[in-house]
Chain A
Amino acid sequence: MSKGVLVKGGGRAGVKAALELAERGVKVALVAEAGALPNGHDNSYEALRFTPLLLRAAHHPNINVITNASLERLHGEKGDFKVRIIQHPRFVDAAACVSCGKCEIECPVNVVSLTGSDEKHKAIHLPLLGLKSVPAAYCIEKSGVSPCAAACPAGVNSHGYVALIAQGKFKEALDLITESAPFPRVLGRVCNRPCEANCTRGKIDRAIAICALKRFVADNNSTEVSLKRTHDNRKGRVKPAQPRVAIIGAGPAGLSAARDLARMGHHCTVFEALPMPGGMITVGMPRFRLPREVRQADIEDIVRLGIEIRTSTPIGKDLTMDDLKKQGYEAILIAVGAHKNQKLGIPGEGLSGVVDGVSLLRAVNLKQPFTIGSRVIAIGGGNVAIDSARVASRLGTKEVSIFYRRTRAEMPANDEEVTEAEQEGVKLEFMVSPTRIIGQDGKVTGVAFHRMQVTDGESEGRRHTVPIEGSEFTVEADTVIVAVGQRPDFSFLEGDTTLTEGKRHIVVDQSTMATRVPGIFAAGDAAYDSGPMINAIGMGRRAAISIDKYLRGEPVAKEPVHARVTPVEVNLNNIYIPSIEPQEMPFLPMKERRGNFEEVELGFTPEMAMREAQRCLNCSGCSQCLECVRTCELDALDHSQTAQRYDFEVAAIIAGKDTVIIHDSELITTRHGIHLLSSSDADFTEASSIAAEITEELTKHGIESKPLLKEIQAPAIASPTGKPRLGIFVCGCGGNISDVVSITKVLGYLRNLPAIAYVSGIAYACTDEGSADIKYAVKKNNLSHAVLAACSCCNFDQICFSCADRRILCKTKLMEGDFNSTYYEFINIREHCVWVHRNNPEEATAKALSLIQAGIARAANCHIMTNGRAVIPVIAETKCRACGTCITVCPFEAIVLKENRNGSSVSKIDESLCRGCGICVARCPSGALQQLEFSDTMINASLAAILTKK
């Protein structure tokens, strides 16, 4: 009969009931909502007093502790319940974490404490009672993905890098950015910022300047680290003799794909029609927004990964796609962008003086000759229109105006750009549409426009507009820039519509970027109506994942590769968030802008960047910056953990009064077989009587309720034969000890002591590896005694107020197997030395050493154990004079006078009553009583070791 009992909630009383059941032999599932067993919120008197009981419950073999969990389902009735427990992810492997706390120091995120106080804690934090929690393993507060990060089409973790910048971790921030997307310097200037549009702070005052922050770290830190990391990732991969992937177009889409493929170990060739790589970032965006050196640096970072770019090599007549296949390229990515200007379709477009925006920008960027008049009109509302107008205004024109057929709010161009254009003197006219371009002698003289009005209906998410009757007017101009959109130039397909399926772009599955022809993929503006750069990058990255699969012969599944994540939602109704002044981007003064192409936005200073980043609300809690993963030496973190479900069959349930129990979607408070604990804390009588009642019931049904006590095994010392062989181990506690105490000095000194057989440092004594290392050394060096200087304090089965989860584990692990006959002497040099003298490393080192020497002295003087409990006094019968002093002083009436075999009266200790205080030992006038663990020899040996006669 194996059915046990579920204990859910009920605070300390629940734990008490669980322990009582367990000690009677009943199997218990002890479920706690929090990350640790319930014991209040602070290290109060009650909490510390209760700790030993908590520890005993947690380490009881009959108790299965499930933290971070709640009841998901409940069926059945008394004697036969079926329950399902859902355990929420902790994101830390509780068994591996030693709570050394290194991750907490590095974690950049502060979240408001769950306890409702103003207190803040890091996203990775200890459960409520800190190191005294049971278990004390770290846990991460993470509710999902923050809205900014979820909005990025290229999968850049914006929350992560904002959090890092807030703490001044600029290098780490750049690393995190380049881990996902390339072009940090370019994106930091020109990105359309879907992250900022979704930023929760935007609903309070103004969104975090996420993009400007990216620019700040990209401009001021080296990308060497991320490059090196990428190279390291690829180490050991054989570079194939022949590149297998051909990429057509070296724009953001093509280069992003090439970079990711290179990082995955593939070799690819990029074919580029123009003499320079970069696509629209090179030939489209003007220099005052994107300086040449900036995009150059971003492109170089990609090329340095070993990517071959063949410039001035258009795919078309001289080199066709078929040629590429024949040359052995197994996969082809079409990333040709959209470079063909869309016509207005009105009379006069052929006049001299009519130019297209894309060509104008390309000419300026490639320093090709071109002419521009003095009265310039740009038609359009996107980036191309604005950029062309701003370029024209820098070339000494008299007047530049933009005419757009919708409202300002509907302009696809970045809002800041429009503002900057206006500031630079560019005039804007909205709700106007050209009807014809007027000319004389083949040259432009002006443009005729209609005013527009809004009607019902929508197309592509935008409102319909129609001309207003009789509203025509003309504007004088000698140059007209047409910038109403671009479309891809598919002349290289030679009229084959297999890939375009009659559309303006190549038809792909947007999650895999695969076309319907196997081995051919498309990304960027060629595979979508022209969009922002970050979308092109995202597509390039998705294409790379699919191409990798394709090359490895795996199916290019139609599953989303960057799985669409649902952002967490912060409910702003219930919390007050004070507004914090945003940092304003410094600009180049207006008078310095005309006649040159100097960058207009100047970038943040480090202080501004940090202040801006500190406005972040940390919507999801943990920002997934992965600093903790990098820091943890024990690999204890697992950010991919998901909820776990456990099914149990139990005979009875004990629940806290406040615990919600759902049964067939009905809320129940009482039900046969469900015992509710009314008091959660102070009063344990109820808990005990419920435990007794349940045990009785179960026994009736044939459950064996034999007490099953598991306590830490005391070292049942077999008499160390011959001379003791002493070994010493010093734990560094992942820096907690070794950062203050010089372990090298301590070990060096100990090595020179006579009569020490073995000396060694240990990184973490309480881990599986650490204890295995110690046990191995004990065996190999034939040690009879081991002194461990770490954080444990004693080697016996007592759990006192000071004990901790990790110490019990440490001791248990060390004594497991046939090691319970090794005499271990534990010395706590962490709480008793390092942490209280941490500003005085030299004295801390000297003191640690002297405490270790006291331990050595005690170990060398240890006695042979006669019973498991080292604190119960033993009586040397020959010395006992039966004076009865011990009987009078014993607070527990544990001593009586008895006749021994020789007929003389001697004191006798009842082990079940004795609690080991040693009061009798100190008062025995004949020295007949001695506690093995606290013998006078040991106490005096300690004193001799820690004191030096001056």
Chain B
Amino acid sequence: MAKKISKYTSSAPQIVGFVCNWSAYSGVEMAGVEKIEYPANIKLVRLPCLGRLHLGHILNSFELGAGGVVLLGCPPDDCHYESGTEKAKEVLAQAKEIINLLGIDPLRLGFIEVPIGRGDIVASQLTAFVKQIEVLESHPKQKGHAPVLSGGKK
């Protein structure tokens, strides 16, 4: 990020959230409408359904410097496309195994189930997830996780 605003970009870990467009996204929306706050170092990427998520998207996030990745999906029985959440959970399990192998604590990968319109859940769970990442960051061994991926490729 350029100099001009880097001065107020905090040193907090960068966290990526992948959000399903339906229930989960409406939860994110309602957190806004109800003005419930959560940490600003989470940036969300919207998907049509969490079933659209590919393992590669998660790995790429870590590769690009994410300190944590969280998936925000609908309750499985309320998936707009029937099997999206289920599929995302498969990807989640796979991803956890892989990052573990790469030396990234699987705790850095989270999943939040968001019923339609529940801004309160979105805000509280995201806050909790950020806390968890911050705890991991404060642990010296956990530092420098990002290069592991690049290193592995070489």
| Interface residue ranges, A against B (CB under 8 Å) | 43-45, 48-49, 130-132, 745, 748-749, 752, 793-794, 798, 800-802, 830-840, 842-847, 849-851, 854, 871, 889, 891-892, 915-919, 921-923, 931, 933-934, 936, 939-940, 942-944, 946-950
Contact between B40 and A851 (Cβ–Cβ < 8 Å)? no
Contact between A49 and B116 (Cβ–Cβ < 8 Å)? yes
Q: Measured between alpha carbons, how far is A854 from B16 in the docked complex, in Å? A: 12
**Residues 25 to 54 of chain B near chain A (Cβ within 8 Å):** 25-26, 28-33, 35-38, 40-41, 43-49, 51-54
Give min CB distance, A787 to chain B, whole Å.
15
Instruction: Tell me what chain A mostly uses at the interface: helix, strand, loop, or mixed.
Output: helix
Contact between A919 and B43 (Cβ–Cβ < 8 Å)? no
Q: Closest 9 CB pairs between A and B?
A: A831-B32, A918-B52, A917-B81, A919-B51, A843-B40, A842-B8, A801-B26, A917-B49, A947-B64
What sequence of 0s and 1s flags, for each residue 65-93 of chain B, a beta carbon within 8 Å of any chain A beta carbon?
11000000000000011111001000100
Contact between A801 and B116 (Cβ–Cβ < 8 Å)? yes
Q: For A745, A854, A931, A946, which residue has the most chain B Cβ atoms within 10 angstroms?
A: A946
Q: For A800, A847, A849, A850, which residue has the most chain B Cβ atoms within 10 angstroms?
A: A800
Q: Measured between alpha carbons, how far is A919 from B54 in the docked complex, in Å? A: 9
What sequence of 0s and 1s flags, for each residue 1-39 of chain B, a beta carbon within 8 Å of any chain A beta carbon?
110110011100010100001110110111111011110
Contact between A837 and B37 (Cβ–Cβ < 8 Å)? yes
> Is B109 on the interface with A (CB-CB < 8 A)?
no
Q: Measured between alpha carbons, how far is A854 from B43 in the docked complex, in Å? A: 10
Contact between B53 and A934 (Cβ–Cβ < 8 Å)? no
Known A-B contacts A801-B25, A947-B64; the reply to A793 vs B52 at CB < 8 A is no
Give min CB distance, A164 to chain B, whole Å.
26
Residue from the list A745, A919, A940, A950 in contact with B52, Cβ < 8 A: A919
Chain A residues, Cβ within 8 Å of B54? 922, 936
Residue from the list A793, A931, A948 in contact with B46, Cβ < 8 A: A793
Residue from the list A749, A793, A936 in contact with B5, Cβ < 8 A: A749
Q: Measured between alpha carbons, how far is A847 from B48 in the docked complex, in Å? A: 22
Residue from the list A832, A943, A950 in contact with B57, Cβ < 8 A: A943
Number of interface residues of B (CB under 8 A): 56
A-B contact pairs, 18 of them (CB 8 A): A44-B117, A749-B2, A794-B46, A832-B44, A836-B36, A836-B40, A846-B5, A846-B8, A850-B1, A891-B81, A892-B81, A915-B81, A918-B52, A933-B48, A934-B52, A943-B60, A946-B16, A947-B16
Give min CB distance, A728 to chain B, whole Å.
15
Contact between B82 and A891 (Cβ–Cβ < 8 Å)? yes
Give min CB distance, B17 to chain A, whole Å.
10
Contact between A48 and B32 (Cβ–Cβ < 8 Å)? no
Give min CB distance, B53 to chain A, whole Å.
6
Residue from the list B10, B44, B83 in contact with A919, Cβ < 8 A: B83
Residue from the list A830, A838, A939, A950 in contact with B45, Cβ < 8 A: A939
Q: Measured between alpha carbons, how far is A834 from B36 in the docked complex, in Å? A: 11
Chain B residues, Cβ within 8 Å of A892? 81
Question: How many A-B residue pairs lie within 8 Å, measured between CB atoms?
Answer: 175
Contact between B10 and A843 (Cβ–Cβ < 8 Å)? yes
Known A-B contacts A918-B51, A939-B47; the reply to A830 vs B32 at CB < 8 A is yes
Give min CB distance, A528 to chain B, whole Å.
57
Q: Measured between alpha carbons, how far is A891 from B38 in the docked complex, in Å? A: 34
Known A-B contacts A749-B2, A919-B83, A949-B146; the reply to A836 vs B35 at CB < 8 A is yes
Q: For B21, B22, B35, B53, which residue has the most chain A Cβ atoms within 10 angstroms?
A: B21
Give min CB distance, B13 to chain A, whole Å.
9
Residue from the list B26, B47, B48, B64 in contact with A944, Cβ < 8 A: B64
Chain A residues, Cβ within 8 Å of B84? 891, 917, 919
Chain A residues, Cβ within 8 Å of B95? none
Q: Measured between alpha carbons, how far is A846 from B6 in the docked complex, in Å? A: 8
Known A-B contacts A800-B26, A845-B5; the reply to A837 vs B52 at CB < 8 A is no
Residue from the list A132, A802, A934 in contact with B47, Cβ < 8 A: A934
Known A-B contacts A800-B21, A802-B25, A846-B8; the reply to A943 vs B117 at CB < 8 A is no
Give min CB distance, A891 to chain B, whole Å.
4
Q: Measured between alpha carbons, how far is A120 from B72 in the docked complex, in Å? A: 34
Chain A residues, Cβ within 8 Å of B80? 915, 917
Contact between B8 and A845 (Cβ–Cβ < 8 Å)? yes
Give min CB distance, B37 to chain A, whole Å.
6
Known A-B contacts A745-B5, A947-B66; the reply to A801 vs B22 at CB < 8 A is yes
Chain A residues, Cβ within 8 Å of B40? 833, 836-837, 840, 843-844, 846-847
Besides the known contacts A44-B117, A846-B8, A948-B1, 16 further A-B residue pairs in the complex with CB atoms under 8 A apart: A132-B33, A801-B22, A836-B31, A838-B37, A843-B40, A845-B8, A847-B40, A849-B5, A891-B82, A919-B83, A919-B87, A922-B51, A922-B87, A943-B16, A943-B64, A948-B9
Contact between A130 and B33 (Cβ–Cβ < 8 Å)? yes
Give min CB distance, A258 to chain B, whole Å.
51
Q: Measured between alpha carbons, how far is A847 from B37 in the docked complex, in Å? A: 14
What sequence of 0s and 1s flags, for each residue 119-136 of chain B, a beta carbon within 8 Å of any chain A beta carbon?
000010000000000000
Contact between B23 and A801 (Cβ–Cβ < 8 Å)? yes
Chain B residues, Cβ within 8 Å of A745? 4-5
Known A-B contacts A891-B82, A943-B16; the reply to A835 vs B33 at CB < 8 A is yes
Contact between A943 and B10 (Cβ–Cβ < 8 Å)? no
Give min CB distance, B11 to chain A, whole Å.
8
Q: Measured between alpha carbons, how far is A798 from B49 in the docked complex, in Å? A: 13
Chain B residues, Cβ within 8 Å of A49? 116
Chain A residues, Cβ within 8 Å of B65? 947-950
Q: Measured between alpha carbons, how far is A842 from B9 in the docked complex, in Å? A: 8
Q: Measured between alpha carbons, how far is A842 from B38 in the docked complex, in Å? A: 14
Known A-B contacts A749-B5, A922-B87, A934-B52; the reply to A131 vs B43 at CB < 8 A is no
Q: Measured between alpha carbons, how far is A860 from B91 in the docked complex, in Å? A: 28
